[in-house]
Amino acid sequence: MASGDVSTTPISTRRGPFQPGDRVQLTDPKGRMHTVTLAAGRSFHTHRGALAHDELIGLPEGSVVTSAGGTAYLALRPLLADYVLSMPRGAQVIYPKDAAQIVAMGDVFPGARVLEAGAGSGALTCSLLRAVGTDGEVHSYETRADFAEVARANVQAFFGGPHPAWRLHVGDVASCPEVGFDRIILDMLTPWEVLDLVARALLPGGVFVGYVATTPQLSELVEALRADGGFTEPRAWESLVRDWHVDGLAVRPDHRMIGHTAFLVSARRLAPGVSAPPRRRKPSKGAEAYAARRRDQAGAPVPSDAAGPAAPDGTEGPAPSLGPVAGTAPA
């Protein structure tokens, strides 16, 4: 399928008895999982003995099959979260916990037109395509052709063929000629540099979501959205996931957890020519430090009224320090 082409190939139904071509997840008694793609006449081999694919074909999900060595395996189709964590990777994938936040908090709905950049390994793309369905559109931009091919292979492997709602483009999202998107999701190094595209291509009321890894990126993106004036007040957050060990009365959190992966930033597009009412905020040393850094970067002289907050006696205090990392002074 060429870049931007639309396919009418039906996607996998992912229900009913196992059929040739289905991906099946086999779980052994110790909880170890193996994924196989069913093909008539083939076998799955481990040191615990062979298991013929023909024994799985025709069985309903949730069946138990036994290898020649006597090991029982539970057979299920892998969930999207399972697939994402085991898929071949070009770029780092967006973890399921973050993809779920993007789909839910971004309110990606059936039939929506969505623009994403970059495509990476196709992990988020799978979630977006699931959400928009066959009546929507997902336009994915990826600057690297090798990553785009990895994403294409992963998405097609998950859906059992090309998805009719997907348009994959190799190139810079800034050159996207399309407009009228309901949602725009940017997973890129400097998303604030393409906010003019977001302002042009996102419908009024549409949702923008940015995915960034570091606090300097988070600061730049939020302040750029505020400075643009055409978006609602940005919201920034992260998600943390911790499993729990439950065994009778022994109930405790697991020692390992999925902690920080990235920050999420969301805002909604205002109508053309409309500016949101200014948000009232208390004086913040963090905001003052950010403004001072921007002035330094622009080479502008520091105005006399920016020396710092007023002292109790009415005189101005010292200018705030930027700290070890510019723009990260505590509020």
Q: Answer with the residue of higher pLDDT: 311 or 136.
A: 136
Q: What is the per-residue pLDDT across 27-55, written as a single tens digit (0 to 9) for each? A: 999 999 999 999 999 999 988 899 999 99
Residues 6+ apart with CB under 8 A from 109: 131, 132, 182
Which tokens belong to 170?
């190799």
Q: What is the per-residue pLDDT across 200-231, written as a single tens digit (0 to 9) for each? A: 999 999 999 999 999 999 999 999 999 999 99
Q: Is the pLDDT of residue 322 over 60?
A: no
Radius of gyration of the chain (CA): 25
Check residue 12 and give its pLDDT.
59
Check residue 13 and give its pLDDT.
61
Check residue 74 and give its pLDDT.
97
Contact 38, 18 (CB under 8 A): yes
Q: What is the per-residue pLDDT across 121-133, written as a single tens digit (0 to 9) for each? A: 999 999 999 999 9
Q: Is the pLDDT of residue 234 over 80?
A: yes
What rounded mean pLDDT belongs to the chain?
87
Helix axes 123-132, 96-105, angle to 10 degrees: 30
Q: Is the pLDDT of residue 289 over 50?
A: yes
